[in-house]
Amino acid sequence: MSDNTSRVRTIFRSKTKKALDKMEDPRETLDDSYEQQLKLLQQVRQAVADVATAKKRVDLQGQEMGTRYQRLGEQAREAMAQGREDLARAALERRALLESQVAKLQDQYSAMQQQTAQLQQRERQLSEQVAAFRIEKETIKATYTASEAQVKANEAVAGIGSSIDDVGASLERARDRVSQMQARAAATDELLASGALKDLTAAPDADIERQLAVLSAKAEVDRQLQAMKQDAPSGRSSQQHREGPDGWLSIGQAPSQ
C-alpha cells in the first residue's frame, strides 16, 4: 500500500469520525422526549383529579342546600298548621332565595361534569400515545445500538471510520424523531384547547333580570301559600323534592310525568 493511499484513508477516517461525533445521539433525545411526555401525562392526570375534587365539593354543598330547602318547606307547613302565616311566608321566601342559589350550583356542577369527561378522554388518548411512543423508542434505540456495534466492528476489520450509509441511517432516525415531536406538539395543542372554562360573567341587563326574579319569587311564594291553605286539612304538599343525597339536583325542577 502506498504512502499516499494510507494518508488519504487516515484523513477520511478522521473527518468522518468528527462529523458523526457532532451528531446528536438519538437514544438520549428519545429518552428526553419520553420523559417530557410522562410529565405532561402526569399534569393531565392531576388536572382530572383536581376537577373531580372540586365537583365533589360542589355536590356536598348542593346536598347541604337540599337538606335546608326541605327543612324550610317543612317549617312553612308546620307554621301554617299553627296558624302562623307570617312564619310560613318567611320560610317560603328563604326557600325561594335558596332555590335560585341551587340553580346556579346545578349549572356549575353540570359544567364540571362535562369538563371532567373531556379531561378523562384527553388523558386516555395521551396515555395511548405515550405507550406507543415508548415501544417505538425502544425499538429505535435497539436498532441504533446494533448499528453502532456493527459500525465499530467494521471499523476494526476494515480500519476505516463510519461509512456514508451510516450517516444516511442517522439522518433517517433524526427524521423519525422529528415526526414524534410533531405528534407530541399536536397532542399538547388538544390538551390546551380542552382546558377552556365556561364564561360565567353576568349579562349587561342582569339588574333587570334580578328585579324580575324577585317579583317572580314573590308570586311563587303567594301561590305556595294559597296551595298550602288548600292542602292544609289533608297535609299534602304541592312541592316536588326527591329524597336521597342527590335530591338537591331536583330542586326547582319540573315534576316528572
Averaged pLDDT in 10-residue chunks for the chain of 257 residues: 54 54 76 89 90 92 93 93 92 92 92 90 90 87 83 70 59 79 68 47 61 82 86 57 73 64
pLDDT at 230: 83
Task: Kindly list the distances between the CA atom of residue 219 and the CA atoms of 41, 104, 172, 182, 222, in Å, as whole numbers in the listed order.
Answer: 53, 21, 76, 61, 5
205 phi, psi to nearest 5 deg = -105, 30
Residue holding cell 410529565? 39
- Give the Cα separation of 61 and 27 in Å (integer): 51
- Give the Cα separation of 169 and 200 in Å (integer): 55
97-121 b/e with 16+ CB inside 10 Å = b?
ebbeebeebbebbeebeebbebbee
pLDDT at 198: 40
> What one-character DSSP code corresponds to residue 202?
P
pLDDT at 204: 59
pLDDT at 87: 93
pLDDT at 231: 74
Residue holding cell 317549617? 75
Instruction: Fill in the amino acid letter for 67.
Output: T
pLDDT at 53: 92
- Give the Cα separation of 192 and 170 in Å (integer): 33
CA dihedral 238, 242, 248, 252 (to 10 degrees): -30
pLDDT at 203: 56
